[in-house]
């Protein structure tokens, strides 16, 4: 599933293809992908607009637009589970899953391909409004061990759902939350306000380290879905310590890894490395 490392990879790779290009036409094959805007309104909003910047906020990709030098909103893309962006030539087998296509002034097209239709390709006059509810950028300056320790203390929640809350930290998803908790030896059900300064520092390092290492490998691909805009799979799946490894031995201690459900999400962990909090007998 595209999380921060995958989204960052996509943004980096489509940036040089899009910046400076003007949108001369649009085709919408699945209206709900637009997130509420009608096709004509969308078409009017983007026609004639030029892309000035491609950037990432949490799991969103933003493409800033302008007309005659005046900013005029942005395209705000969320890949959700199966969304992809390609400039030109989506693989032939995926052509039927194209939901939106934009015609560019150099004759190429920007394709938004999304098998499960959960992704969004929106136009926003004021993208900042969409981003206001997002939490801290985990690779930004504001995300420090001190900030995390204070945040964990203040929010009294189970660690796993808290890490997935985009209003707390923007960009973590199911995979990297599980990997970070394992790296920090913290149980996903542990109440956040029971985590002291030392463990908070470990979790901070685990989050930053996991995300940075995954970006270096262009994210994770373990099924047919996530690919870079060039069609390449990422390779961080080979570094997974827990995600998708239930039933296999923990690489750190040898214990068979477990899979439980936390907040309707599959959650992978080592019950030896990640000790259950007091009072949690067994949800295994």
Catalytic positions are 2-3, 59, 265
Positions 135 through 194 that interact with DNA (CB under 7 A): 155-158, 161-162, 164, 166, 173-175
Decide: is 222 part of the binding site for DNA (CB under 7 A).
no
CB 89 to DNA: min, Å: 20
Q: What is the DSSP string of 239-253?
A: G-SSTT-TTSBPTTT
Nearer to DNA, 49 or 175 (CB): 175
Interface residue with DNA among 29, 41, 44, 116 (CB under 7 A) is 116
Positions 119 through 138 that interact with DNA (CB under 7 A): 133
Count of residues in contact with DNA, rule CB under 7 A: 28
CB 88 to DNA: min, Å: 23
Query: CB under 8 Å to 249, separation ≥6 — which residues?
Result: 255, 256, 257
Q: Are 174 and 182 in contact (CB under 8 A)?
A: no
Positions 57 through 86 that interact with DNA (CB under 7 A): 58-59, 78, 80-81
Task: Write each residue from 10 to 49 as x if it is in contact with DNA (CB under 7 A), else as -, in one continuous string.
Answer: ----------------------x-----------------
The residues that bridge with 110 in the sheet, in sequence order, are 87, 102
Q: What is the DSSP string of 117-147?
A: S--EEEEES-HHHHHTT--B-TTSTT--HHH
Helix 197-216 with 145-154: angle, nearest 10 deg: 120
Helix residue spans in the chain (DSSP H): 4-18, 39-46, 127-131, 145-154, 159-164, 174-183, 197-216
Q: Which residues of the shown chain bind DNA in the complex (CB under 7 A)? A: 1, 32, 58-59, 78, 80-81, 115-118, 133, 155-158, 161-162, 164, 166, 173-175, 224, 263-266
């Amino acid at each position: 599933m595209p999380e921060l490392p995958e989204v960052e990879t996509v943004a980096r790779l489509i940036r040089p293809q899009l910046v400076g290009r003007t949108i001369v036409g649009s085709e919408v094959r699945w209206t709900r992908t637009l997130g509420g805007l009608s096709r004509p309104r969308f078409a009017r909003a983007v026609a004639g607009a030029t892309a000035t910047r491609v950037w990432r906020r949490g799991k969103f990709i933003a493409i800033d637009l302008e007309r005659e030098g005046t900013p005029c909103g942005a395209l705000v893309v969320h890949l959700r589970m199966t969304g992809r962006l390609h400039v030109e030539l989506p693989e032939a087998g995926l052509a039927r899953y194209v939901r939106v296509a934009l015609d560019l002034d150099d004759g190429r097209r920007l394709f938004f391909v999304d098998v499960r239709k959960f992704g969004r390709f929106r136009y926003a006059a004021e993208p900042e409004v969409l981003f206001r509810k997002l939490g801290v950028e985990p690779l930004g300056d504001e995300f420090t061990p001190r900030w995390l320790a204070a945040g964990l203390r203040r929010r009294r929640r189970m660690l796993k759902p808290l890490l997935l809350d985009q209003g707390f930290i923007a960009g973590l998803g199911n995979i990297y939350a599980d990997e970070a908790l394992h790296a920090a030896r913290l149980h996903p059900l542990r109440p956040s306000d029971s985590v002291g300064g030392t463990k908070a520092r470990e979790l901070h390092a685990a989050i930053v380290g996991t995300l940075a290492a995954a970006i270096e490998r262009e994210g994770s691909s373990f099924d047919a879905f996530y690919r870079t805009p060039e069609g390449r799979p990422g390779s961080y799946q080979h570094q997974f310590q827990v995600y998708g490894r239930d039933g296999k031995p923990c690489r750190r201690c040898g214990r068979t890894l477990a899979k439980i459900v936390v907040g309707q999400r599959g959650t992978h962990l080592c019950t030896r490395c990640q000790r259950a909090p007091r009072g949690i007998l067994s949800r295994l």
